[in-house]
């Protein structure tokens, strides 16, 4: 699972993040694990009292010991692809503003790609040469065809969805076209992956 500590909002040491991740693994429960399993953000804006403290009693106690009083867990993933979570901590209670939430979601999007690429298989080589747009934050995820193409390439190449997505992005980048445009070509069956030349 990926962790991060953004200094402005949160505790400033990765040690805290590491400790709290360990607590969750040991307990088998916690906001980050829950966010991962339900595929939706989980916010515990006040671990010192109230609903959130009751929901995560042991986690809350440990969190407070390390100085974290609020936790915001964002799943990293794209549809059924689940890559981990981004757990943000802050040293005082309080909810995230709309702007902070939007920023965190965008950071999570970028982190998702980062984590997927850490575990990438063959998909990466085409990034070396290419002049396409590598921007995932530009709303590529809004196009249904990108996701449909992911499913198709998964089957065409007999790989997991994560790898299929990376292969699509790499090909779009190498060809200098946008991911949605490539995805449309795949969905309309003008381009077929799995011919053995993706390597």
Partner 1 sequence: MGRDQKLSDAFVGLADTLGENFDVVDLFERLAAHCVALSGASAAGVMMSDGRGRLRVVAASQERAAFLDLFQLQIGKGPCVECYGTGEPVIAVPVATREEQWPELVPAVREAGFGAIAAVPLRLHENVIGAVNLFYAPPQPSTDEDVYLVQALADVAAMAMLRWPSPQTRPEDIIARLQATITNKVAIEQAKGALAQFGGIEIAEAGEALRAYAQARRTRITDVARAVVRRTLPLEEVLEYSTATPRRVVGESG
Which spans of this chain sit near partner 1 (rule: CB under 8 A)? Answer: 38-43, 45, 75, 77-81, 95-96, 101-102, 105-106, 109, 139, 141-145, 147-158, 160-161, 184, 187, 194, 196
CB of 134 to partner 1, least distance (A): 18
Which one, 39 or 121, has the nearer CB to partner 1?
Answer: 39
Cβ neighbors of 140 (< 8 A, separation 6 or more) are 146, 178, 179, 180
Which one, 39 or 57, has the nearer CB to partner 1?
Answer: 39
Which one, 3 or 112, has the nearer CB to partner 1?
Answer: 112
Which one, 52 or 126, has the nearer CB to partner 1?
Answer: 52
CB of 118 to partner 1, least distance (A): 19
**Contact between residue 183 and residue 149 where contact means Cβ atoms under 8 Å apart:** yes
CB of 105 to partner 1, least distance (A): 5
CB of 146 to partner 1, least distance (A): 8
Which one, 63 or 187, has the nearer CB to partner 1?
Answer: 187
Which one, 14 or 106, has the nearer CB to partner 1?
Answer: 106
CB of 197 to partner 1, least distance (A): 12
CB of 102 to partner 1, least distance (A): 5
Instruction: Measure the CA–CA gap between 36 and 8, rounded to whole angstroms.
Output: 24
3-state secondary structure the chain: CCCCCCCCCCCCCHHHHHHHHHHHHHHCCCHHHHHHHHCCCEEECCCCCHHHHHHCHHHHHHHHHHCCCEEEEEEEEECCEEEEEEEEEECCCCCCCHHHHHHHHHHHHHHHHHHHHHCCCHHHHHHCCCCCCCCCCCCHHHCHHHHHHHHHHHHHHCCCHHHHHHHHHHHHHHHCCCHHHHHHHHHCCCCCCCCCCCC
């Amino acid at each position: 699972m990926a962790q991060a500590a953004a200094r402005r909002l949160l505790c400033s040491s990765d040690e805290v993040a590491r400790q709290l991740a360990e607590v969750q693994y040991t307990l088998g429960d916690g906001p980050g694990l829950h966010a991962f399993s339900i595929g939706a953000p989980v916010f515990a804006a006040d671990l010192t009292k109230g609903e959130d403290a009751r929901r995560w009693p042991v986690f809350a106690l440990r969190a407070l010991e390390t100085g974290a009083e609020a936790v915001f867990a964002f799943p990293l993933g794209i549809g059924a692809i689940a890559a981990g979570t981004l757990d943000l901590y802050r040293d005082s209670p309080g909810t995230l503003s709309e702007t902070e939430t939007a920023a965190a979601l965008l950071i999570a999007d970028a982190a998702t790609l980062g984590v997927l690429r850490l575990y990438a298989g063959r998909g990466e080589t085409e990034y070396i040469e290419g002049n396409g747009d590598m921007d995932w934050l530009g709303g590529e995820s809004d196009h249904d065809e990108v996701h449909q193409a992911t499913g198709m390439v998964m089957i065409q190449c007999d790989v997991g969805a994560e790898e299929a997505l990376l292969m699509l992005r790499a090909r779009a980048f190498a060809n200098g076209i946008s991911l949605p445009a490539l995805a449309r070509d795949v969905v309309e069956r003008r381009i077929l992956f799995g011919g053995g030349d993706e390597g």
